[in-house]
Structure 1
Amino acid sequence: MTDHRTPELFDEAMASKAWPFEEARKLLKRIERSGDKKEVLFETGYGPSGLPHIGTFGEVARTTMVRHAFSLISDLPTRLVCFSDDMDGLRKVPDNIPNGDMVREHLDKPLTAVPDPFGKYESFGHHNNAMLRAFLDRFGFEYDFASATECYRSGLFDKALLRVLEAYDEVMAIMLPSLRAERQKTYSPFLPVCPRTGKVLQVPLEERKPEAGTVVYRDPETGALVEVPVTGGHCKLQWKADWAMRWYAQDVDYEMSGKDLIDSVKLSSRICSALGGTPPDGFNYELFLDEKGEKISKSRGNGLTIDEWLRYASPESLELFMFQAPRKAKRLYFDVIPKTVDEYFTFLAKYPGQSLKERLVNPVWHIHLGDPPTVDMPVSFALLLNLVNASQSDDREVLWGFIRRYAPGASPETHPVLDNLVGYAVNYFDDFVKPSKSYRAPSDTERAALEDLAERLGALEAGAPAEEIQDVVYEVGKSHPFESLRDWFRALYEILLGQEQGPRFGSFVALYGVEETRALISQALSGRLAG
């Protein structure tokens, strides 16, 4: 986190309308009310029964943005803990792992007691924790990792667990009204870890002994009464009580969560208060939607994975997607990527010329934690996609030949970010655009306009700039009987590029080349594209 706070920066941060600053100011008021904080703790949670996903990235990225914003308005040190709920019992065998039969023999045991089906780590929980840490490290996040198993077994949570036992009736009074009548009969916030089988048991308690710090349950298989301590990893808590206990034990100040957890946050906050703690600040972000506008579900697999995004675009563009309107439900599908990529570079290009006030609401300031890079991006992602389309080439050197003509002096060595973008464009075109392309033949009106365009392009001087070419395209559209210029441009895209939308056509011609565009028009008029 690179900012050196100045009085001007502090003043602007205290007034900025960017949502991370709004969250940071809210958190500052909380800290000032408590009066005795020596460290501000941010936290995110991870359920390691599966691999990290795009939602995990979003939560850590957004929390990091708030943490950085807070660092500009407070001198208190901060820490981000990524907490893994790896003591949860494994309830079902995931579909996407090897050695499922072996794992099935260990159902209901803590994830850190289930053998690793991949054969690489001490347990399945350790494997997925390693994947989480590699995932977070890949993006350069600054965080501390915490394992529920270690926290429970080391005694870190012992004091808080004993407090839950003392406040058992209050916790039950909060939880029971939220449960179905049938579940109310058997619910207990404590889940004993069976000393005989090692399984995390969901059983009613027969007796509580706060003075001894133990609970008594009946073994569901043998019928024997078993007494176990609530400390030292002999019990864990049901997740809403567990969440509250964790906030209380660690004095967590900030944790955000998805909109689907609003009711859970309310319950856990009440439990945390009942224990004598102060629930953390945070906000509920909206969930992502698939291409049909339906909620994305990990189990259904109807969303875009993080590896898919990173095949077509940079991590920074994904952070932009996460930054924008976090409280608004957004479609997370392949077709949002090109627009998001170009928006990222547009924000980056605006940054150097902006005032400090404008910079603090610019997403790239938050994405790059106050230190956005200077990047020369002479070609947009949308243009590159259409260049790959029209040239029918995925050869990077061929594509760079077009780029060098459009932007003399540019090369993979001088413009490495653009070179990466070329690779992304090839991947995106091959995987997503090419399979859905559909050229059509021109109507009589469109044929006449295309012939006119080819002729007028041929009359341009060599090296004509994109704006001059765009003027010619407009003039042709106006001189032919289209109902609107929008119909003319749609015709260009559908007939020449096989798609409904495209970039500024003058810029495309300048990049692809005037003679190459005239040849493309000739192909379309002869029926070779639509055929």
Structure 2
Amino acid sequence: MSDSIHQTSKAWPFEQAREIVKRLDIEKKRGIDRGDKPVVFETGYGPSGLPHIGTFGEVVRTTMVMDAFKALTGGKIPMVMLCVSDDLDGMRKVPGNMPNQDMLHEHLGKPLTDVPDPFGKFESFAAHNNAMLRDFLDGFGFEYEFKSATELYRSGAYDDMLRKALHKFDDIMKVMLPTLGEERRATYSPFLPISPKSGRVLYVPMTSVDAQAGTITFDDEDGTETTLPVTGGHVKLQWKPDFGMRWAALNVDFEMFGKDHQTNSKIYSRICKILGHQPPVQYVYELFLDDKGEKISKSKGNGISVEQWLSYATPESLALYMYNKPRVAKRLYFDVIPRAMDEYFQHLSAYPRQTPEQQIANPVWFIHHGNPPEENPPISFALMLNLVSAANASSKDILWGFIKKYEPTANEDDNPALDRMTDYAIRYYQDFVKPNKTYRKPTDTERAALADLAARLKDVSETDATDGEAMQTLIFSVGKDHDFENLRDWFTAIYEVCLGQSQGPRFGSFVAIYGPSETATLIEDALSGKLG
């Protein structure tokens, strides 16, 4: 089916792809014939708010598994990603950042597709947010099929499963009731009728269930006993039974979700089995944390948004951040951006020199769907930030002046990645580095060593001036000559006294780009107190 490197790759997307292949093999052994039906990868979306960084993470990671599955199966098995919007859910609260608050309050409890668009641009609130989701996904070039829960319910696509759920009402209740508190157990129903009078999604007990007729009976908000068919969008399922029903109705083969779903995933699976289908392969990822170590939340607005990340770094660096250790909780804040940028280009530059086994374990294989471009900027993002700081660069023209002196063949047209990096670095420096710079005075030992370093830099030969290794060796020598027991302390002193920060990339590389004489002037300005 595929060569051995795909079968043995330890990259997590390949591990998941192999689980999907096992699922297909089990189906064959059971005599299940899929025909030409595709393997279904699903992601879910709550349209009560705008798409966010978690949405990006889930879709880009699912795409990585799809790429691995395609490689594993030689591209012979069709597949599709479904992006399902839960837009038949009732609006439980009005988001505080929306216009027309009073109008929205009047429609509380109604399906999001029946709530008017507060922006006045679309036929409903859900339609507005669904359009934003599609624009968001299209902007990254994701391939997917969009599915509206409202359309799936009202078109009849879910009717067969809803009838089965009604026939299995007692079995579903046996799954759900032990998970609920005593008070909620007394009124719980997996079916939520939509009031034909108020249009609201009702959380009410059933007075009777008629599986043969395909109906439920309940008391409407005004106390009137009402009977509705479970088909045609007259009712929807509670979210946990809905999760399992959706898996069964859409024949989902793979879905990933955050750790907050992990406990409930057993419920989803049991519901799916009750409805006669095998649950999909499931992958649980850890949630992101903000700068204080707290879980990122849409309602809190903590952490960082996709738009913010893309103001300071490339989409590829964000995709890399999503690829790395998805089962480990990670801080997702502005200070992770420089490292993500540099790690991406490190992986990209290593790719051509790697063996096939190494290449399919390299994140850029997944980021670029098995065909990474050849881009290798001669300067790291961290180094670029230091260059912006030292040169007080407010425009990319200033930066390109230093870059071309260091790398004469580099130019804006032939090095687009490097050109974009100059814009990102200036913006990031202005917003995050500059406001936090704190210069300190050197100790007597440090002052003497720095003065010596400045003097030696003025005497550097033209040959060594752009040689980062030669500059690094020179800096090491000065540290040793001034009896720094730990040379790390020497480099920390350079950064804290001359650049107002505690760490950075190799200082020798910085000197080679910025220039030895310019660096000597920078040191002398720091020693005279001009920078603080």
TM-score range, shorter chain: over 0.9
What is the SS of the residue equivalent to 2:255?
coil
Question: Quick one: which amino acid aligns to residue 505 of structure 1?
Answer: F
Q: Cα offset for 1:10?
A: 2.6
Whole-angstrom distance in 2 between the partners of 1:30 and 1:158: 26
1:14 to 7, 13, 16: 7
2:493 to 463, 481, 491: 491
Whole-angstrom distance in 1 between the partners of 2:252 and 2:290: 33
Residue 3 of structure 1 is matched in structure 2 by none
Residue 448 of structure 2 is matched in structure 1 by 448
Unaligned runs of 5+ in 1: 1-6
What is the SS of the residue equivalent to 2:412?
coil
1:472 aligns with 2:479: no
Question: Quick one: which amino acid aligns to residue 207 of structure 2?
Answer: E
Whole-angstrom distance in 2 between the partners of 1:223 and 1:298: 37
What is the SS of the residue equivalent to 1:72?
helix
Whole-angstrom distance in 2 between the partners of 1:436 and 1:279: 50
1:514 to 513, 516, 530: 516
1:206-250 deviation digits (Å, cap 9, x = unpaired)? 111111111011012x21101111110100010000011111111
Residue 117 of structure 1 is matched in structure 2 by 118
Residue 237 of structure 1 is matched in structure 2 by 237
Residue 417 of structure 2 is matched in structure 1 by 417
Q: Cα offset for 1:482?
A: 2.1
Residue 338 of structure 2 is matched in structure 1 by 338
What is the SS of the residue equivalent to 2:419?
helix
1:454-507 deviation digits (Å, cap 9, x = unpaired)? 111111112521111111000001111323101100000001110011110010
What is the SS of the residue equivalent to 1:283?
strand
What is the SS of the residue equivalent to 2:13?
helix
Q: Cα offset for 1:96?
A: 1.0
1:148-169 deviation digits (Å, cap 9, x = unpaired)? 0000000000000001000000
Q: Which ranges of 4 or more aligned residues in structure 1 deviate by more than 6 Å?
A: none
TM-score by length of 1: 0.97
What is the SS of the residue equivalent to 1:282?
strand
1:96-149 deviation digits (Å, cap 9, x = unpaired)? 111111111111111111000111111000000000000001111110000000
1:340-371 deviation digits (Å, cap 9, x = unpaired)? 11000000000001110000100000110100
Question: Quick one: which amino acid aligns to residue 97 of structure 2?
Answer: N
Q: Percent identity?
A: 57
Residue 157 of structure 1 is matched in structure 2 by 158
Residue 103 of structure 2 is matched in structure 1 by 102
8 Å CA contact 2:479–2:490 kept in 1: the answer is yes
8 Å CA contact 1:52–1:132 kept in 2: the answer is yes
8 Å CA contact 2:288–2:331 kept in 1: the answer is yes
Residue 363 of structure 2 is matched in structure 1 by 363
1:190 aligns with 2:191: yes
Residue 64 of structure 1 is matched in structure 2 by 63
8 Å CA contact 2:377–2:418 kept in 1: the answer is yes
8 Å CA contact 1:248–1:275 kept in 2: the answer is yes
1:181 aligns with 2:182: yes
Residue 300 of structure 2 is matched in structure 1 by 300
Structure 1 segment 217-236 matched on structure 2, within 5 A: 217-220=218-221, 222-236=222-236
Whole-angstrom distance in 2 between the partners of 1:437 and 1:480: 27
Unaligned runs of 5+ in 2: none
Whole-angstrom distance in 2 between the partners of 1:94 and 1:294: 21
Residue 326 of structure 1 is matched in structure 2 by 326
Residue 26 of structure 1 is matched in structure 2 by 19
TM-score by length of 2: 0.97
Whole-angstrom distance in 1 between the partners of 2:158 and 2:79: 21
Residue 202 of structure 1 is matched in structure 2 by 203
Whole-angstrom distance in 2 between the partners of 1:97 and 1:518: 54
Residue 457 of structure 2 is matched in structure 1 by 457
8 Å CA contact 1:89–1:108 kept in 2: the answer is yes
8 Å CA contact 2:348–2:376 kept in 1: the answer is no
8 Å CA contact 2:38–2:77 kept in 1: the answer is yes
Residue 90 of structure 2 is matched in structure 1 by 89
Residue 73 of structure 1 is matched in structure 2 by 72
Whole-angstrom distance in 2 between the partners of 1:10 and 1:217: 58
Whole-angstrom distance in 2 between the partners of 1:505 and 1:151: 59
Q: Which deviates more, 459-468 or 360-369? A: 459-468
Give me the CA root mean square deviation. 1.0
Residue 4 of structure 1 is matched in structure 2 by none
What is the SS of the residue equivalent to 1:227?
strand
Whole-angstrom distance in 1 between the partners of 2:378 and 2:328: 32
8 Å CA contact 1:312–1:428 kept in 2: the answer is yes
8 Å CA contact 1:10–1:72 kept in 2: the answer is no
Structure 1 segment 285-296 matched on structure 2, within 5 A: 285-296=285-296
1:348 aligns with 2:348: yes
8 Å CA contact 1:115–1:124 kept in 2: the answer is yes
